[in-house]
Amino acid sequence: MLDLARIRKWLRPPRRLKFTREGRWFCAITIGIGIAAINTGNNLLYLVLGMMLSLIVASGILSEVALRHLALFRQPPARLHAGRPFLMSITLRNEKLRLPSFSIEIEDLLGQRPLDKKCYFLKVPAGRQQSTSYRHTFPRRGRYPFSGFRVSTKFPFALFRKSRDIDAAGEVIVFPALYELFAPPAPGITRSGDEPHARIGRQGDFYGLRDFRPGDDPRDLNWRKSAQKGRPVVREQQDEASRRITLRLDNALPAAAALEDHEGLERAISLAASLAAFYVVRGYSVALIARGQAVAPGVGPPHLSRILRCLALLETAAPSTPFASAPATAGEWNPGASEMLLISPNGVARPAAYGAA
């Protein structure tokens, strides 16, 4: 099996050299001076010609020195979302022991092509490292593989831009875009527009205050409010059972789906991600079920990352593909006992239905 990446790497020139505008002029003038020197026999013109050619050679050597012994690291933010700008931190370490590196430009190589954003380092002293970042926005969710960095410099005379590629493989997973939900669905709904029916329980988020009734647990007394009102007041909390959400995402698309359908699915995925984020942030245990994919229920930011990652990499499925069976990792979890949100590209789960912007 041919490894195209490896072949490409072998064929890749070790350095790329490109004229700058000034460099083009400089070379043209050098040729002109050379012709004038040959024509006139003016030895001092030969001297000037020698200086110009030496400057070109010195430029090549110094730029090479600047580009050598550099180590580069990228650090993406913990979460990237499609359509949302992020800062990619780039660290450049000059591993030369004596010489600083001047005027270094770094481009991240997405696949084999550089991103349109550059990081510039004016001076990195010997043995030091510096960090900067570039701002970028990925328009779509998914996996973005980085192959390395393109390091270039115009140092010292800006006659040429010399660049080399440094291998530093890595990837980022761009999570689906998140909508800002103005009217988020409260727990207990099963379809869009249904009223929430929260149940009161012993544990969970704060639900409200009411007067003490006989039989209430004295531990629920809110002493401050009781003192204010002059009568015993207890706090009510939501029942944990009502804080379980299953997001059921229909990622099916027919083979001949139109572009609009694909966009609809993307919106549905974004909505699912937005809802997941919404509920996880509020302490809900959230599970995700899609055709061919499922994420077991869980709570907390790491779990949200799991869901978002699954959504980021979710592919369209054929309509015949069944929904994945509910994950059984969460011991007592019973999907039937949890609230279910149905999200589909062409159904009620359009973002607007939830007041998404």
Partner 1 sequence: MRFSLVHKLASYLMAVAAFCATALSGELHPLLVWGVAILIPLSWSWEPPRVRIERYELWWNLGTAACFLYVVFDFLRPEGSLLSSGVDLLAFLLTNKLFNRRTSKDYLQLYVISFLLLVAGTTLNTELSYAICFFSYVIFATWALTLFHLRREMEENYLLKHSGDEQSEKVEVERILNSRRIVGGPFLAGTSAVSMVVFLGALGIFFLFPRVGMGFFFARQRHGQTLAGFSERVDLGMHGAIKTNPQVVMRIEFPPSETPERLTQLHMRGVAFDAYAATGQWLHTRAERIMPLPTIDGVARAPGALPSDRADLRAEIYLDPLNSRVLFGPARPVRFELPPPIVPGQGRVPLLTTAEDEVYTAVERPAGFRYAVESAVKLPPPSVLASLPEQPPPPALARYLALPEGLSPSIAELARTITREAKGPYAKAIVVRSYLQRYRYTTDLRRMAGGDPLADFLFRARAGHCEYFATAMAVLLRAVGVPTREVNGFYGGEWNDWGKYLAVRQMDAHAWVEVWFPHYGWVMFDPTPPGAARAAAPTGLWSKLRQIEDSVELAWYKHMVEYNLDQQVELARTVRKLGARLQIRLPKLARRPATGLLVLVACVLSIVLARRALRRRGREGPAVRAAVRRIQQPMLSLYQTVLRRCARAGAVRGAAQTPLEFARGLAARSFPGADVVGEATELYYRTRFGGRVPGPAELGALEQKLDRIGVTP
Question: What span, in angstroms and rounded, lies between the C-alpha atoms of 340 and 329?
Answer: 18
| Binder among 156, 188, 201, 232 for partner 1 (CB under 8 A) | 156
Among residue numbers 7 through 46, which ones bind partner 1 (CB under 8 A)? Answer: 22, 29, 33, 37-46
Nearer to partner 1, 53 or 209 (CB): 53
Question: What span, in angstroms and rounded, lies between the C-alpha atoms of 181 and 117?
Answer: 31
- Binding flag, residue 58, partner 1 (CB under 8 A): yes
Total number of residues binding partner 1 (CB under 8 A)? 60
Nearer to partner 1, 168 or 189 (CB): 168
Question: What span, in angstroms and rounded, lies between the C-alpha atoms of 345 and 335?
Answer: 22
- Binding flag, residue 166, partner 1 (CB under 8 A): no
End-to-end CA separation in angstroms for the chain: 48
Among residue numbers 309 through 328, which ones bind partner 1 (CB under 8 A)? Answer: none
- Binding flag, residue 74, partner 1 (CB under 8 A): yes
How far are the Cα atoms of 57, 129, 252, 257 from residue 321, in angstroms, in the given order?
A: 64, 51, 8, 16
| Binder among 8, 111, 116, 120 for partner 1 (CB under 8 A) | 120
| Binder among 23, 49, 81, 249 for partner 1 (CB under 8 A) | 49
Question: What span, in angstroms and rounded, lies between the C-alpha atoms of 56 and 51?
Answer: 9
Question: What span, in angstroms and rounded, lies between the C-alpha atoms of 142 and 309?
Answer: 9
Considering only 108-116, 122-130, 203-211, 234-242, which stretch makes contact with partner 1 by CB under 8 A? Answer: 122-130
- Binding flag, residue 281, partner 1 (CB under 8 A): no
**Footprint of partner 1 (CB under 8 A):** 22, 29, 33, 37-51, 53-55, 57-58, 62, 71-75, 85, 87, 89, 91, 93, 95-99, 102-103, 105, 118, 120, 122-123, 126-129, 131-135, 154-158
